[in-house]
Structure 1
Amino acid sequence: MSKFPRDIIVDILTCLPVRSLIRFKCVCKPWKSLISDPQFVKLHLKRANEGNNINRRRLLVAAEPLYSCVDFEAASDGDGVNAVMELPYPSAARGAESFSSASIRGSCDGLVWISNGDDVHDIILWNPSTRESKKLLKPSSSVQKAGFLTGLGYDSTIDDYKLVIACLTTANGSNQIMAPEVFSLKTNSWRRIQGIRSGITLEGYAGVFWNGALHWLGKQETGADHDLDVIFSLNVAQEKFMGCVPLPKHFCTAVLSISGNCLCIFGKLHPDESYFEAWVTSEYGVKTAWRRRYSILFDRLYMDYFSAEMCLTKKGVLMDHHGCPGTLQLYDPVEDVTKLLRVKNNRDPMYDSVVHTESLVSLR
């Protein structure tokens, strides 16, 4: 192997899955050093995020057994055997008797933020691909169990991963963001940041990281009969909330997700809620350029409860039926074919899930 130029070796290795690269660290010391190098890790992640390289994406399901990693592309190709894989507890959570169930609070670059049930103070950052995990310090503010927003993002200006958490107060029946805090993985500390202006209410509590910002669904007061459905964002590097962007249409229900380099919205539409649609954008601003990717008759989908996690696949749409225990649906709108996947869940049928990208990103 020493006869091959280093750049060719690097080019080949950055195309491989994490599981293979971890094994290849044992080949020789130069390979171990190469695969552990931060620049290689960044290049491997860049390759994973390029274009429509969705073979590196996984759906992490917080069921019992605690987690299952679902390779939905394998399932789309008819490989049901390798579609679902059980994962053990992250090492940072083992031995904690109080860690009874897991809630997912955010995902970025292969890292996943999990908490012990509704206790957002019990924070573990975890890379399911490498199995590395780390228990983090508690935020200083008193976050109420019933109301908070969270998010995990990356600050490329200082090469740092940041966690965002904020209290919500229910005033006049709405959720307003209060006392937001940011945790820096590099400094291992929390700090308070400026909040968002009034007139914005929350619809989704777990933020989606895309294009340097965390995004949440919400509503903006307009003074009319109906509030405006919007996406509001926080710039992770500047640690400031940005302006709101309207949704492409008035959704009855909606979910944010990421597919490749695009921000996606999935949901049922008003007025008759008979259609399920998927919209995507690769640009973001006050007038975001949304494109409709799919429009599907709702009765073609096996949905007795609105799914809380979705993403685009090579052949269609993946939907996670939180209200139908352990059911994942892969729908191909071209062939009008549905495949159902089952994951074990021995506890509460309601569980969290998140789409994440395989990566070698370290918590050290």
Structure 2
Amino acid sequence: MLLKGEEDTVIMDAVEHIEGIVENIILRLPVESIISCKAVSRNWYRLISRPEFLKLQLSWSQSDLIYLIFPRDEDSDIVSEVHLMEDFVVTSEIRLAGFENLCSPRVICSVNGLICCTVDVSPSALIHYEFRICNPITREVLVLPKGCPSAKDPSVGLAFNGDNSEYKLYHFFYDPCDNHCECEIYSSETGSWRGIGTVSECPMVNLYSPNSADHIFVGGKLYWLMSSKEDTETPVSILSVGYNEQFSTINLPYEVTAWSFLIDLEGSLSLVCVDETEIGVDIWVLEDHETSRWSLQGSGELDLENLAYFDSVVAIKRELPLKQKVGLGVRPNEITKCKDVNE
């Protein structure tokens, strides 16, 4: 016969064992099923909401990328729902708290399972973004305090610390009074913005695709393309910053074009350069951060009818899905794949 204390210990061990089994099963479910599991019981809700579970789920699903699609009404820019797309197929419709009837939300990045979106809430000629951090697994949405307005299109970037427990949002904006580029940083630790003043280097805006992500987070650092004052369409260098807020610049290979994109290629900062005359693509990988040494990973041809509709690039399992705009309707974007030339 067990004593009261021993009985409680046995019960707790059994509960922990069962929770471990349940957690292992839920980890393998599709995202929509995981969301539904939160409504089963308080214990399951607590289990799925734990930061440890979210990290495990992120690690488990690294090979199964999930996309968020914001379908727009043909007659307006209002978004009332969000679609999940897995394996390039729309699988389900979800509703995120705080995303009802938003006007033209822009997904600026997706890092470590979190998605950062902006909504233009400008009351005047100034550009004033409202930032939202959402977790599609838990459906939690955090609306950040408003930052500073900008006289020109601002640039942003989301960086995480070493164990991915905290993040910082970098916001580059142009002062309405003197038009100088400044930077402010939102910290998840403090829950507030902190200005760091005027910066000498400011990320460029992709004029061909202003609504696409203009940065990449690789190896604990953020990277943006930068242009010269003489030619604002073609990048000439890269601006880099880590969670420690230390800025640096990286030179680019000589063979860059206006259609150049930064990507994460198997954990390495890489550059995709599209040749608008030959409709070809070069893939460069950064070998040395300090010396700005790049190596040409490979080259290939693109089957694109009109380069003007070229939107953005992302690397998936050594393939490059090239996203193209297909008009202003509600159709999802088409995907064209360019395989790694080394395969």
TM-score (ref. length: structure 1) = 0.67
**Equivalent of residue 230 in structure 1, options 211, 220, 237:** 237
Superposed CA deviations along residues 2-21 of structure 1, whole A, max 9, x for unmatched, are: 79676565455444443333
Q: Which residue of 2 aligns with 1:310?
A: 313
Q: Give secondary structure in 1 for the equivalent of 2:171.
A: strand
Does residue 1:152 correspond to 2:158, yes or no?
yes
Corresponding residue number in structure 2 for 1:239 = 245
| Aligned-residue offset at 1:233 | 1.4
| 1:190 CA drift (Å) | 0.5
- 1:23 aligns to 2:36 (yes or no): yes
| Preserved CA contact (<8 Å) 1:112 1:125 | yes
2:315 counterpart letter in structure 1 = L
- Which amino acid is the alignment partner of residue 330 of structure 1? I
Specify every segment of 5 or more residues in structure 2 that has no aligned partner in the other structure, as ranges.
1-13, 74-78, 123-127, 207-212
One of 282, 301, 309 as aligned partner of 1:277? 282
Question: Would you say the 8 A contact 1:251–1:268 is kept in 2?
Answer: yes
Question: Identity, % of aligned pairs?
Answer: 20
Does 2:301 correspond to 1:297? yes
Residue 46 of structure 1 aligns with an amino acid whose one-letter code is S
Structure 1: which 5+ residue stretches go unaligned? 76-81, 171-175, 336-364
* TM, length-normalised to structure 2: 0.71
CA distance in 2, matches of 1:206, 1:296: 23
**Does the aligned pair in 2 maintain the 1:305–1:324 contact within 8 Å?**
no
Which of 147, 150, 172 is equivalent to 1:143?
Answer: 150
Residue of structure 2 in register with 1:128 after alignment: 136
Distance 1:128 1:260, change over 3 A: farther
Contact 1:14 1:47 in 2 (8 A): yes
Letter in 2 for 1:216: W
Q: 1:4 to 1:297 in 2, by over 3 A?
A: same
1:219 aligns with one of 227, 249, 254: 227
Structure 1 equivalent of residue 214 of structure 2: 206
Cα deviation digits, residues 317-348 of structure 1 (max 9, x gap): 3222236444633334569xxxxxxxxxxxxx
Which residue of 181, 188, 191 maps to 2:184? 181
The alignment partner of 2:314 has SS state of strand
Counterparts of 2:271 and 2:309 in 1: how far apart (Å)? 13
Residue by residue over 1:42-101, the C-alpha shift from the partner in whole angstroms, topping out at 9 and shown as x without a partner, is 23223334xxx2x1x23334440536545352x4xxxxxx4364444x422437xxx432
SS of equivalent to 1:71: strand
1:263 is aligned to 269
Question: By how many angstroms is 1:274 displaced?
Answer: 3.2
The match for 2:85 is: 71
Q: Give the whole-Å Cα distance in 2 for the aligned partners of 1:286 and 1:12.
A: 47
In structure 2, what is the equivalent of residue 251 of structure 1?
A: 257
Alpha-carbon distance in 1 for matches of 2:321, 2:227: 26
Partners of 2:106 and 2:283 in 1: how far apart? Answer: 26
Change (3 A) 1:305 1:249: same
Change over 3 Å in CA distance of 1:94–1:25 after alignment to 2:
closer
Mark the CA change 1:256 to 1:40 in structure 2 (over 3 Å): closer, same or farther.
Answer: same
Matched residues in 1 for 2:234 and 2:307: separation?
27
Instruction: Give the drift of 1:158.
Output: 8.2
| CA drift at 1:151 | 1.6
**Which residue is 1:350 aligned to?**
none
Greater relative contact order, per chain length (Cα 8 Å cut-off, separation 6+): 1
CA deviation map 1:214-245 (0-9, x unaligned): 21111368x9xx9872221121x212322224
Which of these residues, 47, 52, 56, is aligned with residue 43 of structure 1? Answer: 56
Aligned: 1:34 with 2:47: yes
| AA of the residue aligned to 1:308 | D
Could you say what the CA RMSD is over the residues aligned between the two structures, in angstroms?
3.9
Alignment match, 2:119 = 116
Structure 1 residues 84 and 21: alpha-carbon distance in aligned structure 2, compared to 1, 3 A threshold? closer
Change (3 A) 1:248 1:280: farther
Q: Whole-Å Cα distance in 2 between the matches of residues 157 and 43 of structure 1?
A: 13
SS in 2 for 1:251: coil
The offset of 1:117, in angstroms, is 3.4
Q: Is the contact made by 1:58 and 1:69 (CA closer than 8 Å) also made in structure 2?
A: no
Q: Which structure has the greater CA radius of gyration? A: 2
Code of the aligned partner of 1:43: L
Which residue of structure 2 aligns with residue 162 of structure 1? 168
Q: 1:34 to 1:291 in 2, by over 3 A?
A: farther
CA-CA distance at 1:191 after TM superposition: 0.3
Distance 2:318 2:84 in 1: 16
Q: Kindly provide the amino acid, as one letter, of the partner of residue 333 in structure 2.
A: L
Match of 2:322, SS? strand
